Structure 1
Amino acid sequence: LVTKLAPDFKAPAVLGNNEVDEHFELSKNLGKNGVILFFWPKDFTFVCPTEIIAFDKRVKDFQEKGFNVIGVSIDSEQVHFAWKNTPVEKGGIGQVSFPMVADITKSISRDYDVLFEEAIALRGAFLIDKNMKVRHAVINDLPLGRNADEMLRMVDALLHFEEHGEVCPAGWRKGDKGMKA
């Protein structure tokens, strides 16, 4: 998907304020510079809450850079709502602030090529720019959690490239010099 247009979708989602939007659309929820779209296998599991809480702790950092965060799993909006309203110490995720999309038809997971054995989503994360172009993607096997800080680094690299026209080498961090291509 990298360099291609991100598949748009319309699906139910539990918003940060716990309201349900039955017709949540990716293209209508981009930040000024784009969106971080990430998938997890299933609600009420083990690695998933660690990733969701990590991304939630970084939501403001992403938003300050003009990127919204949106999460997706194959669970229904009712299950998302229940998980958000279960205390962390009892296996819940608490009141995360980003929308949680319900991909009950598995079509979004299929479109992003993260559907595993027609059952659940792999741990995919996509950096999508303001023009809906996929600029970065990572897909992890089920036992391997993702790092929200690495996605934030990729956002910084993209913004640096767009502002300065310089490419960002391996290990580049915000404030480092880029390279002229």
Structure 2
Amino acid sequence: MSLTTLVTKEAPDFTAQAVMPDNTFAEMTLSNYRGKYVVLFFYPLDFTFVCPSEILAFNKRLAEFKEKNCEVIGVSIDSRFTHLAWKNTSVDNGGIGNIQYPLVEDLNKNIARTYGILLNESVALRGLFLIDTKGVVRHSVINDLPLGRSVSEALRMLDALQFVETHGGEVCPANWQEGDESMKASNEGVKTYLKRTHGSGK
């Protein structure tokens, strides 16, 4: 299944072992997070280079996600034991320390495969999926292995999703940030917005 077919569709469910915030192992099921938003992100491998920068960046801003009723979940093809070893390694020594969101194991690569981001049957590309409270994928982005993602952009998309859900008939234009002016989802709404923000709108 490709990224383009997942947006607007129900997120493929899975049950897998994970290292939890308290460093215990637990079986977790994605659909158990219904009622919350979820940022589900895949990264290639533990003990690599770009990956810890992303994992630590999400952890640094985890409180912002949680304030918005959103859980963050990381997934790679490593085992839960490798995840735990990485958590038990200090940042100074190439580890990630005490990350406070689940890291899921995908040893058989079925989760990455189902989400359409398994590269050459080897590792997952840097796929990120924003899932709404009903379990529907509303946004996705995929990066090649050397390209780290923006946590700020993930938060911006979460804000945009929550805005349009609570403001019927309004949509978020380019570069919209929380607190910015939105746009009415109509021809007149577009014209009015463009006139105010880009001049005459001609």
TM over 0.5: yes
Pair 1:167-2:171 in alignment: yes
User: What amino acid is aligned across from residue 55 of structure 1 in structure 2?
Assistant: F
What is the TM-score with the length of structure 1 in the denominator?
Answer: 0.97
Cα distance in 2 for partners of 1:75, 1:134 equals 24
Match 2:67 to one of 58, 64, 68? 64
**Is the helix fraction higher in 1 or 2?**
2
Match 1:44 to one of 47, 58, 74? 47
Gap regions ≥5 residues in structure 1: none
What is the TM-score with the length of structure 2 in the denominator?
Answer: 0.87
Aligned to 1:153: 156
Gap regions ≥5 residues in structure 2: 1-5, 186-202
Aligned to 1:77: 80
Pair 1:7-2:12 in alignment: yes
Structure 1 residue 146, shift from structure 2 partner: 0.2
Match 2:24 to one of 19, 29, 48? 19
Cα distance in 2 for partners of 1:39, 1:102 equals 11
> Alignment partner of 1:71: what SS?
strand
Match 2:115 to one of 112, 131, 134? 112
Aligned to 1:28: 32
Cα distance in 2 for partners of 1:42, 1:95 equals 18
Aligned to 2:135: 132
Aligned to 1:53: 56
Cα distance in 1 for partners of 2:134, 2:32 equals 12
Cα distance in 2 for partners of 1:4, 1:100 equals 24
Tell me the percent identity.
Answer: 58
Cα distance in 1 for partners of 2:33, 2:60 equals 19
Report how many residues are paired.
179
User: What amino acid is aligned across from residue 15 of structure 2 in structure 1?
Assistant: K
Which 4+ stretches in 1 moved above 2 angstroms? Answer: none
What are the superposed Cα offsets for residues 27-79 of structure 1, whole Å, 9 maximum, x if unpaired? Answer: 1134x431000000000000000000001111110110011000000000000
User: What amino acid is aligned across from residue 145 of structure 1 in structure 2?
Assistant: G
Cα distance in 2 for partners of 1:39, 1:151 equals 13
